[in-house]
Amino acid sequence: MIGIPFEEQGQEVVRYFAREEEADQAVADQAVADQEVQDALSLAGAWSHLDWDDMLETLDQIRHESKPTPPIEL
Per-residue pLDDT at 65: 92
pLDDT beyond 90 at 62: yes
- What percentage of the chain exceeds 70 in pLDDT? 100
Annotate 16-53 with b (16+ C-beta within 10 A) or e (fewer): ebeeeeebeeeeeeeeeeeeeeeeeeeeeeeeeeeeee
Domain boundaries, given as residue ranges, for the chain = 1-46
Note the pLDDT tens digit of each residue in 17-40.
999 899 889 889 988 888 888 888
